[in-house]
Structure 1
Amino acid sequence: MKTIKPFCLALLSLFIITACNVEELQSGQSLLETDNLTLKSSIKKSLPFKASFTVWRAEAPGSQTCDAGSFSETMVMKGNGEMTHLGELQGLFMRFCTAPTPEVFFPVNYSFIETGKFVAANGDELHCVIESGQIWPYTGNNPKYQLHFNDEILFIGGTGRFKGASGWAKTNAYVHPGTTDNEGEDPFYTDFFIEEGELIIVPGSASEK
């Protein structure tokens, strides 16, 4: 009996020590996983950004009142095209205010009054804004264009794999005024040929094609 009692005490002590070690190991693994997630979310990846798309009027100019200082009329645009990391666009949306400066007709100042959206083929959205831009006369050789602007688009998050995205791009856009009612064979439209830009995403949140 005296031999059995010390044996039982030793066995109980071993069990307690083993249980503590397992608990410490599990706690250590949990902390490691948390640290890995924190590290992953803190690392961002920079990707080159290019795009080619066209927008048309979605509403008649001036359909809403602007509250942006001297800006006098709204413009709402929709369109389609392609972008790196988004593929063929399912849709896009831009709403901004525009008006000429009081001194001369050019430049025409404009500013987004609502977050713009680029919708990827799978429905993920990349959000953007142009804080301040200017439209100038086109001086190239293409007869279909009359105006040009090359302002900075800022990426400000999105949905899906673009959640938390940031970055910038230069518009490099060319305007064909067309008819004022945006109907018929010669509608108003703007072509964008973006060759300069950067999309910053959390690893794994955007494709790298």
Structure 2
Amino acid sequence: MKTIKLLSVVLLSLFLFTACDDSTDAFESEQSLFEVDNMASKSRIEKSLPLKATFTVWRAETPGSQSCDVGFSETMMLKGNGKMTHLGQLQELFMRFCSMPTPEVIFPVNYSFIETGKFVAANGDELHCIIESGQIWPYTGDNPKYQLYFNDDILFIGGTGRFKGASGWAKTNAYVHPGTTDNDGEDPFYTDFFINEGELIIIPGSASE
């Protein structure tokens, strides 16, 4: 009888040891999966970069060529060139917005993008942007070229290539020369941007996904 009891105790101990070992294996397996997920998350850590830019835009179509929402009366499409940190010399840049001019302009003049804007880098990668709302004010500086000024938030909303999934912001710091002639004339409309405050957030490696 004692032998049977002793054998039972040995079998029970062996069972408990095996169950504990299986539990340990399951824990280690779960921990390993967590580590893999954690490594994947780390590989997608966002990288924050300071951003500066200098560029000029001109009218690319006659103002009012497209319709605007109620409350806005004039469209403007602008294209230009210049340079931007992390993009280099810009191949192209594009902006289309609606503003709210009146026969007797009352400041501020409100405006907003009606299409996603884009900055095209030297290698063709695109950084997309939007201005959700902005205000144009009279220029009060001492440069006789400028008559209007605005300094609104540009929001970056993705793009292509290395700017896929990008985000961030910048201040326009823009100065408007209304001009007296069309683009082919001697005194065309243009706007100079001197962006010295901004942040570009990218996900390294996202272009290859």
The alignment's TM-score, normalised by the length of structure 2, stands at: 0.78
Q: Which AA in structure 2 matches 1:165?
A: A
Equivalent residue for 1:49, pick from 39, 51, 67: 51
SS at match of 2:162: helix
Larger Rg: 2
Partner of 1:139: 140
The alignment's TM-score, normalised by the length of structure 1, stands at: 0.78
Deviation at 1:35, TM superposition (A): 4.8
Task: Spell out the pairing of 1:20-99 with structure 2 (5 A cutoff).
Answer: 35-41=38-44, 43-67=45-69, 69-99=70-100
Sequence identity (%): 80
Distance between the aligned counterparts of 2:112 and 2:85, measured in 1? 25
Instruction: For structure 2, list consecutive stretches of 5 or more residues without a partner in the other structure.
Output: 1-30
Distance between the aligned counterparts of 1:121 and 1:30, measured in 2? 41
Distance between the aligned counterparts of 1:186 and 1:180, measured in 2? 5
Q: Deviations over 1:157-184 (max 9, x none)?
A: 0000000000000000000011253331
Aligned positions, number: 180
Instruction: For structure 1, list consecutive stretches of 5 or more residues without a partner in the other structure.
Output: 1-27
Task: Spell out the pairing of 1:1-209 with structure 2 (5 A cutoff).
Answer: 35-41=38-44, 43-67=45-69, 69-100=70-101, 105-204=106-205
CA RMSD, 1 decimal: 2.5
1:56/1:162 Cα in 2 relative to 1: closer, same or farther (>3 Å)? same
1:47/1:78 Cα in 2 relative to 1: closer, same or farther (>3 Å)? same
Deviation at 1:59, TM superposition (A): 0.3
1:53/1:104 Cα in 2 relative to 1: closer, same or farther (>3 Å)? closer
Q: Which AA in structure 2 matches 1:188?
A: F
Deviation at 1:203, TM superposition (A): 2.6
